Amino acid sequence: MMKMLPFFQSGPFGIRSGSQGCIDANRPFENTSSSVAEQVPVCPEASADEIWSRDQEKMRERPEAACRASRASSITSNESCISAGDSPEKGNKGIKGMLKSAFKIVKKTKPPSVKQVMDLLGEQKLCDAIQHLFVLEKSLSSKSEEGLNTSQKDIESVYEILKHKVFSTLKDSVLLAKTNPDLLQQAVEALKEQEKEDQNYMSENPPDQNMQFRPRKWKELWMATVKESVEARMKDTSGTPRTENLSPVGQNLLHMGKTMKEDLTVVAKYINKLYPPEFNVFSIYAELYHNYFASQAKKNAESHLEDKDIYLLLSWVHNFYPKDMRKDHALAMELDKVKLGSLLPSSLSKELENKYLDSEEVTVKNSLSRCLDKEIQRWKEDKEPEKLNGHFQSELLGIFVIQSIYSSQKRAEDISKAVGEELSRRLLKELPAFLRSYRDAFEDFKEKSKKHRYYKPILIANINNCWNFREYTEEYVAEKDDSKADILSTLADIENSGFDVLLQQLFTQLKPLYKKFTENKWDSSSEIMNEIIKTTSKHISDFQTLKDPFYHAIVEKIHARLVKEYIVRLLKRKVSLKTPAQQQTLAQHISKNAADLEAFCTSNGSQATWLNSALPKLAEIIRLQDLGAIKIEVATLATTYPDIRKRHLEAFLHIKANLSRSELKSILSYLADSTASTQPRAPLFSNINVS
């Protein structure tokens, strides 16, 4: 590593050239981390150094003399490393006296030897060692040119060993801060003293007169050492346990983040206070860790990454790195002063975000498509859909589709709010497209699988699926979003298409029953209504497997159909009654039928109360004989059901055969034309064709 110290053979403080067992002048050190003293065998005869050493030993036996000698050394070396026994708080008079005594000792006492310096290095007394070297350096000024050259080489050789020990220690600062803080402090003190010595030399000597070995620029070397230490620790993944299912890229990101956080915490709590403020210790460490982490992140971002690694890298850039690092209060305070910035340039981060969004959009789209394919295959199986709380359902489709979209949105939001919002916008366009595909597949099954053993249960299960989509849309899709109306419209198509099939058989069975009213001119109307209710009741029990909102919806459809079919019979012009008594009897039949119908529908869960007044109002018009009263009731009817038209009223008034043509015209004109522009809450008369 270095040449042998030449002064051991020829220097004034060295070993005699004829001594046996002394160090070979040309043999290099075998271990530069150990002291020179440990590698030099003891010579059989006492040298001048040893005699001087024994004198020093005697001084140590006398504490007062030792104290003065130590002070002399320290003061000569810029008063930096104060020996035990020194007290800076003593009075001025005592300090002046000590200074005079110290300089007298320096003049009378021989300068410390290289061997003594090596002994101090062996004892890890780095600060004392460097002070002794300062004394040796200054003692060279009185020597001849030849002696200066030779002795300076000796000192530089020892300096190399000291430098190696100091910077080996400083390189391991993060480890030693807790395990051996005293050694670390010795190294830091040596660094500080060297920096002070450089500054003193520079202030006393013009730049053009700088000697070969000054300034030594240890601070620059310290910065390079810190950089080397940071990079080595960030590269060494052996201390970070492997995480299952984490890719090499993800594992490396985890290691760098963990190492940076833990190491900077040590710097903030322990290392920072060892240095003076002008060293900017925390700032230098933080920037070096950040720069290395950022360079690796950039390198990863510019390479071909798997989708999961893109997600991980973006999570570190937007979430873990800026937030997790600040969970330790002491570290957060220091980081706030440094302002490290982002791990990636904004342009590269945006490029990575777009890659992630494109990939996630395709992933979700393919996932939904596979889910629909599986659902279609399940329809073809000879199996009844499962029930949950008594309702048929296809849990896979509704829950899986919504979970896929929702979890994807949440994952994106975990990266950043902006990324989450952009993915939500994209997926909200994907959901309507998926539902249209679902509707088309449902229509295909509905038309081609009517002989399927579980045809109706499968229809009901698919209607029930729509509820999950409805809930999600109402909660998570904004009203102003165009996708919301599109989604709800497609769901309504699926629901109503299913309802139509489920009700088709019932409505077919009801048609001939309703014809009996006109055929019998409302004789036995109660029996006919009872038969209608009995037939309807059988079908309603099958609809209990619908989820509650859809059950109420289908019962309301049944309720509307029962009322509508009754009105259709009244508009058929099959009955014409001339006497008030006949009209009174018919009105009573209609009122009784209306009451039975309302009671039945309400008991089965219909919430369509708006239908309840239609038949009673028509019965009242038939019962009334006063023209003015009839007009008022017609106006009330038109207000409640604004979709009634003159053609409907004219067909209905055919029952009142005792009205004159002028009276009929008067009543019809009373039906305000404005009702034509009023939209009903739900259609009733507009669905009735009048022949």
pLDDT tens, position by position, 9-23: 333 333 333 333 333
Same structural domain for residues 201 and 333?
no
d(CA 213, CA 224) in angstroms, rounded, equals 19
Side-chain-side CA neighbours of residue 232 (13 Å):
11
Its domain, for residue 479, covers: 356-496
Q: pLDDT tens digit string along 314-325?
A: 999 998 988 888
Res. 211: pLDDT tops 80: no
Same structural domain for residues 364 and 335?
no
Does the residue 678 lie in any domain?
no
Q: What percent of the chain has a predicted confidence (pLDDT) above 70?
A: 79
Inter-CA distances, 559 with 424, 556, 598, 612, 640, Å: 40, 5, 8, 9, 17
Looking at 140-213, list the stretches that DSSP marks H as alpha helix, in order from N- to C-terminal side. 145-171, 173-179, 181-204
Q: What's the pLDDT at 596?
A: 97
d(CA 426, CA 431) in angstroms, rounded, equals 9
Does the residue 203 lie in any domain?
yes
Same structural domain for residues 552 and 666?
yes
Res. 115: pLDDT tops 60: yes
Residue, of 679 and 5, whose pLDDT is higher: 679
CATH number at residue 405: 1.10.357
Place of tokens 């029953």: 513
Does the residue 14 lie in any domain?
no
Mean pLDDT of the chain: 81
674-607-588 Cα angle (round to 5): 70
Res. 44: pLDDT tops 60: no
Does the residue 683 lie in any domain?
no
pLDDT band at residue 58 using 50, 70 and 90 as cut-offs: very low
Residue that finishes a domain, picked among 227, 258, 291? 227
Res. 195: pLDDT tops 70: yes
Residue that finishes a domain, picked among 344, 365, 400? 344
CB 646 within 8 A of CB 666: no
pLDDT band at residue 67 using 50, 70 and 90 as cut-offs: very low
pLDDT band at residue 111 using 50, 70 and 90 as cut-offs: low
Same structural domain for residues 375 and 257?
no
Does the residue 282 lie in any domain?
yes
Q: What is the mean predicted confidence (pLDDT) over 322-348?
A: 86
Q: What percent of the chain has a predicted confidence (pLDDT) above 90?
A: 59
Task: Count structural domains, the chain.
Answer: 4
Q: What's the pLDDT at 63?
A: 34
Q: What is the mean predicted confidence (pLDDT) over 425-444?
A: 94
Same structural domain for residues 249 and 333?
yes
- The set of residues, in sequence order, having a beta carbon less than 8 Å from that of 644 and lying 6+ positions away, is 637, 638, 671, 675, 684, 685
Confidence (pTM): 0.69
pLDDT band at residue 259 using 50, 70 and 90 as cut-offs: very high
Q: pLDDT tens digit string along 346-379?
A: 999 999 999 999 999 999 999 999 999 999 999 9
Res. 185: pLDDT tops 70: yes
Does the residue 482 lie in any domain?
yes
pLDDT band at residue 48 using 50, 70 and 90 as cut-offs: very low
Same structural domain for residues 663 and 594?
yes
Helix (H, G, I), strand (E, B) or coil at 468: helix
The DSSP symbol for 164 reads H
Same structural domain for residues 660 and 554?
yes
CB atoms within 10 A of CB 433: 15
Same structural domain for residues 257 and 334?
yes
Judging by beta carbons within 10 Å of its beta carbon (0-12, 13-18, 19+), is residue 328 exposed, middle or buried? Answer: middle
- The set of residues, in sequence order, having a beta carbon less than 8 Å from that of 50 and lying 6+ positions away, is none
CB 175 within 8 A of CB 229: no
Same structural domain for residues 266 and 361?
no
Dmax over Cα atoms in the chain, in whole Å?
A: 157
Same structural domain for residues 538 and 659?
yes
Residue, of 613 and 44, whose pLDDT is higher: 613
- The set of residues, in sequence order, having a beta carbon less than 8 Å from that of 72 and lying 6+ positions away, is 101, 102, 103, 105, 106, 109
